[in-house]
A and B are shown apart, each in its own frame.
Chain A
């Protein structure tokens, strides 16, 4: 049972815009920034969005993040086949003094 709640799956067709939600509580998302990770099959996770809405160098601007209260969202516009992956949200939790994760969302590009 993950601390942060994500939908287990999402899908879209090439070119579409999809969003993935992430819900937490006051001790994590409500008081700390949210990061998103992309995990391609058989590889380590990769930082996709940090500090709610910042993209590391090299991440296309098709990926964007937002946060409101104790929830956050990842949006992917202009969906491409190579975006098919698992996506995880995470935030620092003040109670644990460590990061907590969502259970992951498997994105399928139809």
Chain B
């Protein structure tokens, strides 16, 4: 079945970087854009950007430009989201989601930023 499996929880110090992975299975990896979103504790969903797994093209939300990098490895059907210069307000659950309708989601990766 179609599945997105994300990497495990992370705890980081302010100023550090975090890299979260999202491994796709059950469908043609290069056939769907992959989006990254986050949800801070008790808050709503926030879109961070997308990557085209076929070409590697990306589009980042303005809020994250300069701090976020999305990449992919087609050989293992995996996309990555790296966020740098972490702050305490980056503490959130980070999700990957498939395609225009976000019809499939990963289970989320909790990133905690704390000194």
Task: Give A contacts to B, CB under 8 Å.
Answer: 2, 35, 37, 43-47, 50-51, 56, 88, 90, 92, 96-104
A30 to B4, CA, bound (A): 31
What interface size band does chain B fall in? Answer: 20 to 34
A24 to B10, CA, bound (A): 35
Q: Choose from A37, A43, A101 the contact partner of B47 (Cβ within 8 Å).
A: A101
Q: Does the CB pair B61–A96 fall under 8 Å?
A: yes
Q: Return chain B residues, CB-CB under 8 Å to A43.
A: 107
- The stretch among B11-19, B23-31, B80-88, B97-105 that forms the contact with chain A is B97-105
Q: When A44-B107, A45-B105, A50-B103 are in contact, do A100 and B95 touch as well, CB less than 8 Å? A: no
A91 to B88, CA, bound (A): 29
Q: Does the CB pair A47–B102 fall under 8 Å?
A: yes
Q: Does the CB pair A98–B44 fall under 8 Å?
A: no
| Interface: B45 (CB within 8 A) | yes
Q: When A35-B102, A37-B102, A98-B50 are in contact, do A103 and B107 touch as well, CB less than 8 Å? A: no
Interface centre among A2, A47, A51 (most CB of B within 10 A): A47
A51 to B62, CA, bound (A): 26
In residues 2-53 of chain B, which contact A (Cβ within 8 Å)?
35, 44-47, 49-50
A1 to B38, CA, bound (A): 15
Residue of B nearest to A8 (CB): B44
Q: Does the CB pair B45–A88 fall under 8 Å?
A: yes
Q: Does the CB pair A97–B102 fall under 8 Å?
A: no
Q: Choose from A50, A92, A99, A103 the contact partner of B44 (Cβ within 8 Å).
A: A103
Residue of A nearest to B106 (CB): A44
Residue of A nearest to B45 (CB): A101
**9 additional contacts, CB 8 Å, given A37-B102, A43-B107?**
A44-B108, A45-B45, A45-B95, A45-B102, A50-B101, A96-B62, A98-B59, A101-B45, A104-B44
Residue of B nearest to A4 (CB): B44
